[in-house]
Chains A and B, each alone.
Chain A
Amino acid sequence: MERVHKVFGATRALDGLDLCLDRGEILALLGPNGAGKTTAVSILTGLRRPDSGRVALLGGRPDDLAIRRRIGLTPQESGFPPALRVHEIVRLIRSHFPEPLTDTALFERFPLEAIWKRQAGGLSGGQKRMLAVAMAFAGNPDLVFLDETTTGLDVEARRALWRSIRVFRDHGGTVVLTTHYLEEAEALASRIVVIHRVKAVADGSVEAIRREVGQARVSYRGPDPDGLPGAVRAERNGEHVVVLASNADVFVRALVERGIPFVDLEVRPASLEDAFVEITGGAEG
Chain B
Amino acid sequence: MRLLIEHSRATLLQLLRTPAYSVITMLLPAVIFVFIGTTTTESRKGANVVMASFAIFAALGVAFFQFGVGIASQRESPWEKFARVLPVEPAIRFGATVVAATIFATVAVAFVVAVALILTDVGMIASSWLRLFASVLGGAIPMALFGIAIGYWAPSTAALPVANIFYLALSFGGGLFVPPSSMPGFLDAFSRVLPTRHIGELAWASVLDLPWPGGSWIWLLGYTIAFGGLAVAGYRRDEGIRYR
Contacts and interface: CB of A to CB of B under 8 A. Distances in A.
A233 to B, nearest CB: 39
Interface in A68-93: 68-69, 71, 73-84, 88-89, 91-93
Given A48-B243, A48-B244, A92 B10 contact: yes
- Chain B contact residues: over half helix, strand or loop, or mixed? helix
A76 B78 contact: yes
B76 to A, nearest CB: 11
Contacts of A219: none
A8 to B, nearest CB: 8
- Chain A contact residues: over half helix, strand or loop, or mixed? loop
Contacts of A69: 87
A45 B77 contact: no
B13 A46 contact: no
Interface residues of A, number: 32
A82 B14 CA distance: 8
A65 B88 contact: yes
Interface string A120-162: 0000000000000001000000000000000000000000000
Contact of B87 (A49, A65, A82, A84): A65
A250 interface: no
A68 B86 contact: yes
Given A47-B243, A48-B244, A81 B79 contact: yes
Contacts of B243: 47-49
Q: Which of A48, A76, A77, A95 has the largest count of B CB atoms less than 10 A from its CB?
A: A95
Interface in B52-95: 77-79, 81-82, 84-89
A54 interface: no
Contacts of B198: none
A268 interface: no
A75 B84 contact: no
A53 to B, nearest CB: 14
Contact of A96 (B9, B84, B86): B86
Given A49-B244, A84-B13, A79 B82 contact: yes
Interface in A49-64: 49
Contact of B10 (A46, A82, A88): A88
A262 interface: no
Contacts of B18: 83
25 contacts: A46-B85, A49-B243, A65-B87, A69-B87, A73-B82, A75-B79, A75-B81, A76-B81, A79-B78, A79-B79, A80-B79, A83-B16, A83-B18, A84-B17, A88-B13, A91-B6, A92-B6, A92-B7, A92-B9, A92-B10, A95-B3, A95-B6, A96-B3, A97-B87, A119-B17
